[in-house]
Amino acid sequence: MSIGKNIAYFRKNKGYTQEKLGEIIGVTNQAVSKWESETSMPDIMLIPQIANALDVTLNDLFSKQNNQSSTLKNNCFNESAVHDFPKAMQATVIDDLCRKTNLVNCNIWDFLKSEQNLPTKKLDKIKHSYTMCCLSNTEGAAFISNNLTIIDSDIKITDIGSIFEKPEISSGIKKLSDINVRKILSYICNENFKSTAPFDYNNSKYFTIDIKPSELSRSTMLSIDDVSEALEKLISLHIVELEINKETHYQLNKVKIIEAATTLKLIERLIHNEAGFGCGEFFALIQ
């Protein structure tokens, strides 16, 4: 089933009216009706709220077929939902972009005009050749490629110029570009990110890694002073947290290190000098 039909199915299972569900997540009953009739798609930022309101997982919302009983959350960690979330969100964003822009009016995108093209088929067609970028003055930005999807609900066209002027941006990039910082991050990730298992939000060890300067020094062949200086930079970027009890204790935040890696991934794309073309509010970059 589609996400709209799934919302309708789980809403009825909960005994909610469209008005009641809309009230819980802060939208009108007309908006819920449009989702369920597939006239429009839910805003991507509302997807987790919808799942919470219906007591189902993200995987349930995007499932193509549901049994007569849903997979209730019951505070259980759903590994499948975490693995499915990035691709599902990527497909949802692509479908939403196609609906909200004049993309379908471009001859070069004729394959998108066919109504039988599901979001996943659009994704499969696009990801082999294109990186998709959409920047709105009110709704934020989305960046979608085969190996990277980024959504920023705050950025606006009018904000772009001021972003480049911020001194903290320059400072942050300089810290991330420091060779010792990158050497330490590379070692930590290679040692601790070997498992493909997702992060379990019920277990703090999935979010933080204890790190010891002496071990870093020995493994990276850096002096203790160089390691300490690099850790100070990582602390200022909130990638490493410092706790001082009976002894100094360093913890690396896994979520923050992924944010840092994503930042460098975007810079890597700039270095590759991709060409681009635009169509109305919609822009695509040729890989």
Q: Residue 118 and residue 123: Cα distance in Å, rounded? A: 9
Residue 29 included in any domain: yes
Best mean pLDDT range from 44-48, 180-184, 278-282: 180-184
We report the CATH number of the domain holding residue 37 as: 1.10.260.40
**Left, alpha or beta for 94 (phi > 0: left; psi -120 to 50: alpha)?**
alpha
pLDDT of residue 230: 96
- The mean pLDDT of 201-230, rounded to a whole number, is 87
| Mean pLDDT of all residues in 79-102 | 64
Per the CB < 8 A criterion, the answer to whether 230 and 180 are in contact is: yes
The pLDDT assigned to 102 comes to 47
50 within domain boundaries: yes
d(CA 49, CA 29): 15
Note whether residue 82 is domain-resident: no
Q: Is residue 91 part of a domain?
A: no
pLDDT band at 66 (very low <50, low <70, confident <90, very high): low
Give the structural domain span for 23. 1-76
Instruction: Report the C-alpha gap between 272 and 147 in whole angstroms.
Output: 15
Q: Under a CB-based contact definition with an 8 Å cutoff, are residues 178 and 230 in contact?
A: yes
Q: What is the pLDDT of residue 227?
A: 95
Query: Within 13 A of 49's CA, how many CA atoms are on the CB side?
Result: 13
Domain boundary among 30, 49, 76: 76
Q: What is the DSSP letter of 129?
A: T
Assess if residue 145 is contained within a domain: no
CA atoms of 108 and 170, how far apart (whole Å): 38
In the listed set 76, 95, 121, which residue is the last one of a domain according to the structure? 76
In a domain, 197, yes or no: yes
Is a pLDDT exceeding 70 seen at residue 279? no
Confidence (pTM): 0.62
Q: Which of 57, 76, 95 is the last residue of a domain?
A: 76
The average confidence (pLDDT) of the chain is: 75
One-letter amino acid for residue 125 of the chain: K
In this prediction, residue 98 carries a pLDDT of 61
CATH number of the structural domain spanning residue 237:
1.10.10.10
Residue 281 has pLDDT above 90, yes or no: no
17-26, 87-96, 158-167, 244-253: segment of lowest average pLDDT: 87-96
* Count of structural domains within the chain: 2
Q: Of the given ranges (8-12, 42-46, 88-92, 198-202), which has the lowest mean pLDDT?
A: 198-202
Within a domain: residue 251? Answer: yes
In a domain, 202, yes or no: yes
CB atoms closer than 10 angstroms to residue 161: 8
